[in-house]
Amino acid sequence: MAEAKTKTISSTEFQRNIGAVIDQVRNGKSAVIVAAHGRPQVAILPVDEYESLVEARRQLAWTRLARLTTETVVPPTDQSRDASTGDD
């Protein structure tokens, strides 16, 4: 969805108009946040946008893992081990 606006509706409004809300999201007019007691509970967005978000999150996780596994780890020296344990 190319920068569609996000609309917030109550859970009651969602229940009353579920078909229209789904059509609105499917047609790319807006993503919808459903709120209960004034607090956001769920987001409704087109499947392709959801899949893009899942893929982006997966790629970010792999990037972080790759960064962690390629960082140089410097093992402690004998002197630093002795200092940390109190052994001399």
Q: Enumerate domains of the chain plus CATH numbers.
A: 5-70 (3.40.1620.10)
Question: Per residue in 56-70, pLDDT tens?
Answer: 999 998 888 787 777
Task: Compute the distance between CA of residue 28 and CA of residue 11 in angstroms, rounded to an integer.
Answer: 20
pLDDT at residue 73 tops 70? no
Integer Cα distance of 52 and 21 in angstroms: 21
Average pLDDT of span 72-85: 64
Asked if 18 and 44 touch (Cβ cutoff 8 Å), the reply is: no
Q: How far apart are CA 66 and CA 57, in angstroms?
A: 14
CA 64 – CA 72 distance, rounded (Å): 14
Q: Residue 54: pLDDT band by 50, 70, 90 thresholds?
A: very high
Average pLDDT, integer, range 10-32? 95
pTM across the whole model: 0.63
pLDDT at 84: 59
At CA 18, angle to CA 32 and CA 8, rounded to 5? 25
CB 8 within 8 A of CB 35: yes
